[in-house]
């Protein structure tokens, strides 16, 4: 066959195809309408599912809010109960402290308890000596020999100058180690002020 025949044959196929195509387009509108209906149905089902999911979500949120409200009310009630308990404990503590204060002996009771041992007199005289020392210090007066620390604790300083340890001095005199160290430190400070 010659090229002209091919061209004519192809032209004829195109013309027949052109007639056939418009007929197919006219046949497609019912199919297009069916696909649109299918799409609308699918969208309606999707929307219904979304609405159900939204309703479930709203119910879940409402139940969560209610449960959190109940928990918060329980916590508030517990806080109130704990505050009441704390107040009761404070009142009990206050009454205990008041009772303890009432139970501690006064000076007159202590003197009756100590009796003739002279311990109260010694503590009172030590207290008055300390007050005299403070008064002399406040007036910038030089202390006399009877007001010095060495004069107050002669046995302590004898043991200390003899080379005894602070522990042994404390045991022998019935004092605390800290008290012995404090007295020695004050004596050194007193000695450096008078030099």
The CA distance from 104 to 85, in Å, is 28
Least trusted range by pLDDT, from 3-7, 80-84, 117-121: 117-121
Residue 54 has pLDDT above 60, yes or no: yes
| pTM across the whole model | 0.31
What average pLDDT score do residues 67-86 get?
Answer: 92
Place of tokens 């969560």: 64
The CA distance from 150 to 188, in Å, is 10
The mean pLDDT value of the chain amounts to 76
Higher pLDDT: 138 or 83? It is: 83
pLDDT of residue 62: 93
Residue 140 has pLDDT above 70, yes or no: no
Least trusted range by pLDDT, from 140-144, 182-186, 188-192: 140-144
pLDDT of residue 117: 42
140: left (phi over 0), alpha (psi -120 to 50) or beta: left
Question: Which uninterrupted H or E stretch holds 155?
Answer: helix 154-161
- The secondary structure of 37-76 as a DSSP string is HHHHHHHHHHHHHHHHHHHHHHHHHHHHHHHHHHHHHHHH
Q: Helices 177-194 and 154-161, interaxial angle, to 10°? A: 90
């Amino acid at each position: 066959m010659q090229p002209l025949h091919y061209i004519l044959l192809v032209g004829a196929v195109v013309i027949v195809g052109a007639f056939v195509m418009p007929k197919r387009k006219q046949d497609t509108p019912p199919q297009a309408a069916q696909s649109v209906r299918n799409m609308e149905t699918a969208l309606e089902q999707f929307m219904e599912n979304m609405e159900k999911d939204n309703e479930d979500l709203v119910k879940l949120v409402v139940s969560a809010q209610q449960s959190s409200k109940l928990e918060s009310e329980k916590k508030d009630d517990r806080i109130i109960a704990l505050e009441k308990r704390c107040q009761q404990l404070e009142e009990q503590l206050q009454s205990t402290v008041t009772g303890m204060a009432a139970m501690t002996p006064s000076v007159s009771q202590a003197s009756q308890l100590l009796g003739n041992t002279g311990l109260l007199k010694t503590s009172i005289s030590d207290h008055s000596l300390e007050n005299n020392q403070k008064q002399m210090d406040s007036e910038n007066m030089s202390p006399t020999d009877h007001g010095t620390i060495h004069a107050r604790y002669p046995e302590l300083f004898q043991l200390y100058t003899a080379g005894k340890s602070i522990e042994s001095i404390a045991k022998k005199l019935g004092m605390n180690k800290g008290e012995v160290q404090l007295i020695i430190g004050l004596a050194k400070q007193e000695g450096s002020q008078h030099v």
